[in-house]
Structure 1
Amino acid sequence: MKTWLHSWRAAVRIARRDAWRAKGRSSLVLAMIALPILGVSAADLTIRSSELSVSEQLERSIGTADAVFRDPDFGGVPILQSPDGDNVYPADVKDGAAWPSGSTDLTKVIPAGARWITDTQGAAKLTTVHGLLQTDVREMKADDPIARGITTLVDGHYPRKADEVIATSAFLEQSGLSIGSTVSARNFDRPYRIVGSYELPDSLKSAQITALPGAFLAPYGKAVEKAGSLAPGTSVSYLVQHAGGFTWNSVKEINTKGVTVVSRTVRLDPPADSEVPLYQRDDWGDFESSAGADALLLATLATVVGLAMLEICLLAGPAFAVGARRSRRQLGLVGANGGSRSHIRAIVLSGGLVIGVAAAVVGTVLAVVLTLVLQPFLEEFMGQRFGSFDVRPLELLGIALLAVLTGLLAAIVPAVTASRQTVLASLTGRRGVRSTSKVLPVLGLVALLVGAAIALYGSVVTDQFIIVAGGSALAELGVVAMTPAIVGLFGRAGRWLPLSPRLALRDAVRNRGRTAPAVAAVLAAVAGTVAVATYTSSSDAQYRAEYSASLPHGAVSFFQMEDGGRDVPAVADAVQRYLSVDTRADVSRVAVGKPGCPAWGGDAGCGLYEVMVPPANVCPMWVPTTDGSDPSEKFTPEQRRTLLREDWRCKQGDGGGSVYVDGGLLVGDARLLKVLGITDPAAEQALADGRAVAFSKPLLAKDGTVGIKQITDTKAADEASADNKPAPGKVSSIPAHLVTGDQKTYGLQLLMTPATAKAAGLTTVPLGAYFNTDSLPGTEQRQKLDAELAKIGAGVDLTIEEGYVSDDSIFLLALTVFAGLVTIGAAGIATGLAQADAEADLKTLAAVGAPPRVRRTLSGFQCGVVAAMGVVLGSLAGLLPAMGLRLTEERQQLRFHEQTIAEGWGGDLTPPYVPIVVPWETLAALLVAVPLGAALLAALVTRSKGAVARRAAT
């Protein structure tokens, strides 16, 4: 034991001295190992610090209160709740029965002697420098001790008067306002002065203002009548402090009165599931179980860590091998003085141990410092403040041990190789005859074939992505195992190359132990990039083909569905003023009931209309049944396919579009046809003659008319719908012209002029407008238009058809840059090792009269050769998994498409388009630009003249 300990201590001392002498090579390997450790440790610190404890969560949600009381709107009936209050269920509701509704007076439930404040939350459109901004509005006495921790005051002071508010920093930034500015809500006559800024620690990017209770919103979610109406959805919570807090038994007792309670005591010490009545219901399921998701996450993390360690070992291994060869005389002396092979292995392994420990220390320390320095930026990026800075020593120690393990793994092969050399060969510097393994390439070929077969089976026979991914990974490992043999095949191309590239290629082939790992590392990085790029490009091509334009390219439209379209003229004028409009087509909609009714009706005094489809034109699969059953169930799957493909009554329209009114009915003129690109002189003539224009054949009756039913009694209509009967209403028949041919109508089904609608007894209100533009608006035009629309204050949906815009271009560029950096880094490492390993050859070249630039040229070609070989092999290996995944997706989508047709759901009858697109631009950048850039970079950073060396002692 003592001898073993002393030998290892001596080995570590020798390794530490060698590492200090070869600072350049040691720093290179240390950086390779420390960078992943730095990243993983920083990620661990960030995640752990951002994960809040239960007490920290409670401080940010309920302040210092002992509990928060909420009304679940079940009318005060007894309820069952989960301990965290996220799930609430009426206690006595049977399966299928309607849930109760109604409000509860929370003040009658709060225990006597308790102290409480209200927390009322709603929303409003607030005036800003630019116009209007949809903002969360809160009413709470924010400076009360109970609310401490919910908000953090940044500047100014909390509200003291009813006309004072504080605003979040995000609101001030978005609105252009500042402390001292005034703000008001739309339709409010009363202004409020901003007296302070604050932040929500859990939501730094939220735009919110806070006022005193009763100053902006009324209790129980009703708007203050004298101030004007606000958006619905206002809610009230009661933050309660009570001596002794609220135990789980207290919570269950309060639940019997129909009130939800989130208790600090219960959250800190939750009851067992057996004590929670909600969990004992037969219809309750544990939907929060995430064991499968956690297992998948752990498997993903293990795969990423394993690949990262493999990548580092592939790159660091040759560095240790070169170091061992540079120290072969020293190792020979150890053997000549009685050292065994185990001592030689211990010395080389100690090199990996020393570098691994140093990398672990450097990476961990830098991670802590970097996380502390970047904490404010990380918090802003994530949108929430950290809790406490959470350093978990065991986790950091485990991550650091990965660095040590990686260093040892990278040094294993060089240690075994060095221990096998004879003492004579080590002392004389002779390398002997080196031959590559003949078994490894065979195993690699077998793995390649088996992996490709598995991936093919997974993509053609089954629908399991995991099989495709597993087969592709096995095939890629096979290519990695074949790399030394493949490098040898590349060497045969040297006979046709000039001197410098021929020397570089010969050196790479002769030193496969150094070249093959670097090529394999480049291969792995490029293969992953090509696989993701191919899959992304293919998906992007599919999305482009499936994209359904809502308007012709460059066209603009907007709608105002509420307020009777009062702002439509002003908005249309603004669009025409700020955009380069060629044609403007104003449109209206049919309105039933009092003025100002929304398009969807439903309000008191507001009715609906229905575009009639004659019974003879209804698809047999969609005819309502008297018992309410699915009518398509009367047909077999084959009959459904036949109906959808051959019966004109069952065929769908062109799909897509931007017409959101009932039946696709618009009231306008022939200018709308021009904007939509519909060329039909007969349609224009029909509009001029007072007829409607129909774009859907089922709408047209046998007599050539279309029917519009006006439904004034919506209650009776609902009752008729429940009984599968037609809704009562007045039907207006309008002569119509049917547009035939392949015309894309962008959702428009029926068009008539205002005069035709008036003659048919239909009331219309402005809806919006369509525009043709000479060119797409630029950023400045959009900003000016948005500011004008904000001043108008209209709630409109503005649509500008820009065509399909891919979101993957930046992603593909980032992938290419990443692969390029990894490739250049790996090739640069291999080149640096080659220069250190081939210093004698370079001196020989200089001795025989080679010009100084040969060193620079040779270095560039050495780097370029490694990069080129890795990129070529990686590009080929990366295509396999992407193609397999796309074939699997094609099978899944085809099966779903057939199922959709068989079940009579309708839709597009065209089979799904699932292409496989090779990203030639990415491949070209990798195959040409990356090796060329690596070669030029290596040539530029290499000195033309080497240092004069002393003659080696003999």
Structure 2
Amino acid sequence: MNNWFHSWRAAVRIARRDAWRFKGRSFLVLAMIALPIIGVSAADLTLRTSELSTEETLARTLGAADARIIDPDYGGVPILQHPVQEDSTPAGNYDNKPWPEGRTDVTKAFPAGSTVLTDSAGAGKIRTAHGILQTEIRELKAADPMARGILTLQDGRFPEKADEVAATTHFLEASGLGLGSTVAARGLDREYRVVGSYELPNELKADQLNALPGAFLDPLGKALDAAGMPGTGKSTTHLLALPRSTDADGFTWNMVKEANAKGVMVISRAVALDPPADSDVPLLQREGWGDYGDSAAAKAAALAAAGTIVGLAMLEICLLAGPAFAVGARRSRRQLGLVGANGGDRRHIRAIVLAGGLVIGIAAAVVGTVLGLLLTFLLQPVLEDYMGQRFGAFDVRPLELLGIGLIAVLTGLLAAVVPAVTASRQTVLASLTGRRGVRRSSRVLPVVGLIAALLGAAIALYGSVVSDQFIIVAGGSALAELGVVALTPALVGLFGRTGRWLPLSPRLALRDAVRNRGRTAPAVAAVLAAVAGTVAVATYQASDDAQQRAAYEARLPHGAVSVVLGEGGGRDVLAVRDTVQKNLPVEVRADVDRIVVGKATCEMYADAEGCGRHEVVIPKANQCPLWVYMPDGSDASDKYTKAERRKLAQDWRCKETPSMAYTESGLVVADAKLLKVLEIEDPAAEKALAEGKVVSFSRTMVDAKGKLGIKLITDPAKAEEAMAKGKEAPGQVKSFDVHQAAPGTESYGLAGIVPPAAAKAAGITTVPFGAYFSTERMPSTEQRQKLDDELSKTGASVDLHVEEGFVSENSIVLLSLTVFAGLITIGAAGIATGLAQADAEADLKTLAAVGAPPRVRRTLSGFQCGVVAVMGVLLGSAAGVLPAIGLRLTERRQQMSWYEQALDLGGLMERPQVPIIVPWGTLAALLVAVPVGAALLAALVTRSRGALARRAAA
């Protein structure tokens, strides 16, 4: 034991001295190992810091209160609730009864002597320096000690008077206001002075105003009600603090269940800190409510994914760092020979080389962990702003950081294993004389690699053609890639046979790469692994991008603009239309109206008193048999067999269901200008609109006589009741003459166009709804920003859409992957080139001695780097396409299976299109630009003249 300790102590001292002596090589290896450690440790610290503890979460939701009392709006019936989450359901069985709803008197759940603080929230359109901003309004006495922690004061103070408000910092930035400014809500003449700024720790980007209870929402609600406008949607909860004499245990779970019996939901601090067992929670005993959290399979999959990432990262580092240790061992072979000459055996040689990995690994662990700590600390404010929430206390978990550091140490040791074994096998004479000897390449490794590659390809093919499990494809692809990695030394030898057709410098570079496969093959394998992963993801992303492009449904022709407004009875539509035309390069403007039933101020889909709705009457002959109403309320598709449902799914009546876009019926009231904006070239349709006929884009709406019926339903409640019984909804039907558009006409979601004259003649009430615009050119970003600012000043909730066509989000992903693969490739090739220069210094001096010009050194260095990059990129591109194709084939089978099941059930689905697209642009960049860039970079940073060396002593 004592001898073992002393021998390793000496080995570590020698390794430390060599690492300090050869700083360049040591820094290179240290950087390779430390970079992943920096990333992993920073990710661990960020994740742990961003995870709020239960106490921190409660401080942001309850402040200093013992509980928050919530009305679940079940009309006071007994409820069951989750102990921690805001989930609840009525305790009774209401399958065949009306679902309970209505307000609950929450005060009956307040324990005697409790202190209560109301917390109300609503919304309003606040006038700002730029116009109107939709803002949340919160009425909470934030200065009260019970509310401490819910709002974080940044500047000034919280409101103390009824005419004062505080605002979030994001609201002040967006509105252009500051402390001392005045704000008012649209529809309310009263003004409030901003006396403070604060932030919501969980919502840094929230636009919110804070006022005293009853100071803002109540006056605003009364003003809006008087103007006939929608209210603020005020909701109220209560913060509750128990009296000191009874708060020893806080608001217990038994007290929560007592409140539940009164129809009140409670979020309790004591319960959240010490949750009851699942068996004591009645809600979790109900079917379907106990399946919270990730399943064991999901957790296992996540752990497997994390383990795979860590394993691949370690493999990548070992592939790159291993040759560095091998070159270091060869550069120190005289020293290692002296150890052997003085009685050291192979154990001591291996210990010295392994100690080099240990020293570098420990240094990388320390440097990576320290830099990870600093990086996390410095980037925390940036990450908080990006994620929109404050993190918790800086959470450093030493055991986790120690484990991450041990990965660095283990990686350093693994990278030094092969060089250590190789160095220990050299004889003392060969080490002292500097002769490398001749070693035959392994014949077993290529055979194993070929078997693994073929077996992995077969498994991936099986997974993509027979099985629906993605894991089989991924596993087979990974095995095939490892097989190609094992084949790399043999493939490098095959590449060497092409050298006879190359000029001098690339021939020398290729010959050197083949002769020194010990450092070439790992670098090629590292490039291969990086490129294979990039090509696999890029191929999958490009295929998915093509699928999304094919599935994309444009709302308008390219460059066209639509603006619709369904609130306020069309009060603001005229101003909105003019605003859009003034700020955009409009070519044709088509005004559209909508049909209303009842008062002209009725909003779309609003269930207000005196407001109805309308619908298109679908003739019985045109109704899809799968979706008709049955008298007993059952599903009509149940009476058909699978074969019949499949056949009916292809029936034109089921395939051509009218669109319900924009309005409740899909109909709009407009003239022929709308056809021009929609780029519908149909002279007969223009003529029909001029003659007062409705233009229909769906055959199902038109009866055998060429008529279209619009039913005006004045009582929606009676209509719903009748439809529930399988009867038709009662209402007055207006009939119109129709022009049927040509089949396949792209109407961009519209079911039909009703001319204004025909609607007026039928006695149908219409109100302005919006407009469609064709533009001379695509609106610029500056024009869009100015338009948004102008529209915000109108105070209307405008639905503005500019059709830009399909915008691929994957282009950025593909670009990022290409850049990432390029950096890895250039880095790996550069490392191999640096090692080659260090290892082949004698050869370069021989070239200089025989009269080779200085530029040969630079040219040779560039070609050495390029050779490694070309071999790695070629092999990686071939290996990366396999998993992507396999995954796409598996996905195609899965989607086709869902499609077949939907047809069996009578579903109306489009046949899935799952294309396989090879990203030739990405491959071209990898195959051409990256190797050329790596070669040029290596040539530029290489000195053309080398230092002269003294003749070695005989």
TM-score normalised over the length of structure 2: 0.97
Residue 284 of structure 1 deviates from its aligned partner by: 3.9
Asked whether 1:205 is paired with 2:205, we answer yes
- For residues 854 and 109 of structure 1, what CA distance do their matches in structure 2 show? 89
CA 1:654–1:462: 2 relative to 1, 3 Å? farther
C-alpha displacement of 1:403: 0.6
Q: Aligned in 2, Cα 1:106/1:600: closer, same or farther, shift over 3 Å? A: closer
For residues 369-448 of structure 1, the aligned pairs below 5 Å read 369-448=374-453
- Residues 255, 896 of structure 1: CA spacing in aligned structure 2 closer, same or farther, 3 A cutoff? closer
1:590 deviates by: 1.5
Aligned to 1:154: 154
Counterpart AA for 1:674 = K
Label 1:188 to 1:105 Cα distance change in 2 as closer, same or farther (>3 A).
same
1: distance between equivalents of 2:280 and 2:674? Answer: 65
Long gaps (5+) in structure 2: none
Alignment partner of 2:217: what SS? Answer: coil
Contact 2:600 2:765 (8 Å CA) reproduced: no
- Taking the aligned partners of 2:417 and 2:475, their CA distance within structure 1 comes to 27
Which residue is equivalent to 1:650? 654
Moved more, 181-190 or 616-625: 616-625
SS of structure 1 residue aligned to 2:210: strand
Q: Displacement of 1:804 after TM fit?
A: 0.8
Rounded Cα–Cα distance in structure 1 between residues aligned with 2:226 and 2:550: 54
Partner AA of 1:712 in structure 2: T
CA contact (8 A) 1:159 1:195 kept: yes
Cα pair distance change 1:199/1:641, threshold 3 Å: same
Equivalent positions of 1:286-435 (< 5 A) are: 286-435=291-440
Residue equivalent to 1:457: 462
- Corresponding position of 1:10: 10
- Match in the other structure for 1:576: 581
Partners of 1:120 and 1:219 within 8 A in 2: no
Q: CA deviation at 1:372?
A: 1.9
In the other structure, the counterpart of 1:895 is: 897
The answer on whether the counterparts of 2:62 and 2:239 sit within 8 Å (CA) in structure 1 is no
Q: Deviations over 1:835-894 (max 9, x none)?
A: 110010011111111111111111111111111110111111110001111111111222
| Consecutive unaligned residues in structure 1, runs of 5 or more | none
Deviations, residues 446-495 of structure 1 (Å, cap 9, x unaligned): 11111111111111111111111111101100100000000001111111
In structure 2, the partner of 1:279 is 284
Q: Which residue of 1 aligns with 2:820?
A: 818
Residue of structure 1 aligned with 2:908, choices 900, 906, 909: 906
- 1:118-267 aligned at under 5 Å gives the runs 118-218=118-218, 230-232=231-233, 234-243=235-244, 244=247, 245-267=250-272
1:789 matched to which residue of 2? Answer: 791
List per-residue Cα deviations over 1:115-160 (Å, max 9, x = no partner): 2211112222222222222222111111111111111111111111
> CA separation in 1, counterparts of 2:652 and 2:271?
63
The one of 660, 668, 671 equivalent to 1:669 is 671
| Contact 1:220 1:234 (C-alpha < 8 Å) held by counterparts | no
1:483-521 deviation line (CA, Å, top 9, x unaligned): 000000111111111111111111100000100000000
- Do 1:654 and 1:744's aligned partners in 2 also have CA atoms closer than 8 Å? no
CA distance in structure 2 between the partners assigned to 1:737 and 1:488 by the alignment: 74
Letter in structure 2 aligned against 1:842 = L
Residue type matched to 1:305 in 2? V
2:699 is the alignment partner of 1:700: no
Partner Cα distance (2:539, 2:448) in 1: 28
Percent of aligned pairs with the same amino acid = 69
Please give the residue correspondences for 1:699-738 in structure 2 after superposition, counting only pairs within 5 Å. Answer: 699-738=701-740
Is 252-261 or 546-555 further displaced after alignment? 252-261
Of 84-93 and 329-338, more deviation after overlay is shown by: 84-93
Look up the equivalent residue of 2:32 and give its one-letter code: M
**Which residue of structure 2 aligns with residue 20 of structure 1?**
20
Cα distance between partner residues in 1 of 2:892 and 2:363: 50
Amino acid aligned to 1:589: R
Structure 2 CA distance for aligned equivalents of residues 506 and 653 of structure 1: 69
In 1, are the aligned partners of 2:602 and 2:608 still within 8 Å (CA)? Answer: yes
1:620, CA displacement in angstroms? Answer: 2.4
Q: Structure 1 residues 233 and 466 mapped into 2: Cα distance closer, same or farther (>3 Å)? A: farther
Matched ranges for 1:879-890 at <5 A: 879-890=881-892
| Residues 421-457 of structure 1: per-residue CA shift (max 9 Å, x gap) | 1111111111111221111111111111111111111
Aligned 1:493-572 pairs, distance under 5 A? 493-572=498-577
Change (3 A) 1:257 1:636: closer
Of 278-287 and 569-578, the range deviating more from structure 2 = 278-287
More displaced 10-residue stretch of structure 1: 15-24 or 634-643? 634-643
Deviates more, 1:214-223 or 1:673-682: 214-223
Offset from partner CA, 1:782-837 (integer Å, 9 cap, x none): 11111111111222211111111111111111111111111111111111111110
What per-residue deviation string (whole Å, max 9, x for no partner) do you get for residues 317-347 of structure 1?
A: 0000000101111111111111111111001
Partner of 2:951: 951
Q: Compute the displacement of 1:278 (Å).
A: 2.8
Q: Which residue of 1 aligns with 2:489?
A: 484
Secondary structure, counterpart of 2:194 in structure 1: strand
Which of 857, 867, 870 lines up with 2:869 in the alignment?
Answer: 867
Aligned partners of 1:536 and 1:435: how far apart in 2?
43
With 329-338 and 378-387 compared, the bigger mean Cα shift is at 378-387
- Asked whether the equivalents of residues 345 and 416 of structure 1 are also in contact (C-alpha less than 8 Å), the reply is yes
Answer yes or no: is the 8 Å Cα contact 2:68–2:237 preserved in 1: no
| Structure 2 CA distance for partners of 1:271 and 1:719, relative to 1, 3 Å | closer
Query: CA separation of 1:229/1:612 partners in 2, compared to 1, >3 Å: closer, same or farther?
Result: closer
Between the aligned partners of 1:444 and 1:520, the Cα distance in structure 2 is 13
State the secondary structure of the residue aligned to 1:482. Answer: helix
The aligned residue for residue 770 of structure 2 is 768
* Secondary structure, aligned partner of 2:337: helix
Return the offset for 1:650.
Answer: 2.7
How many Å separate the matches in 1 of 2:670 and 2:164? 48
Does the CA-based 8 Å contact 2:187-2:223 persist in structure 1?
no
Amino acid at match of 1:790: S
| Greater Cα offset, 383-392 or 358-367 | 383-392
**Aligned partner of 1:237: which letter?**
H
Cα separation, partners in 2 of 1:621 and 1:253, compared to 1, 3 Å:
closer
Between 1:283-292 and 1:345-354, the stretch displaced more is: 283-292
1:29: which partner in 2? 29
Q: CA 1:277/1:736 → structure 2, altered by over 3 Å: closer, same or farther?
A: closer
Q: Helix, strand or coil: the match of 2:712? A: strand
Q: Structure 2: which amino acid aligns with 1:878?
A: G
Establish whether residue 751 from structure 1 lines up as the match of residue 756 from structure 2: no
Q: CA deviation at 1:713?
A: 2.3
Mark the CA change 1:631 to 1:156 in structure 2 (over 3 Å): closer, same or farther.
Answer: same
> Counterparts of 1:586 and 1:816 in 2: how far apart (Å)?
47
Task: Compare 386-395 and 402-411 and name the one that shifted more.
Answer: 386-395
Name the CA shift for 1:275/1:641 in 2 (closer, same or farther; >3 Å).
Answer: closer
Structure 1 distance, partners of 2:376, 2:619, is 69
Displacement of 1:367 in angstroms is 1.4
Contact in 1 for aligned 2:658/2:751 (Cα 8 Å): no
- 1:81 and 1:557 map into 2 onto residues whose CA distance is 45
Q: Is the 2:899–2:909 Cα contact (8 Å) retained in structure 1?
A: no
1:761 is paired with a residue whose SS is: coil
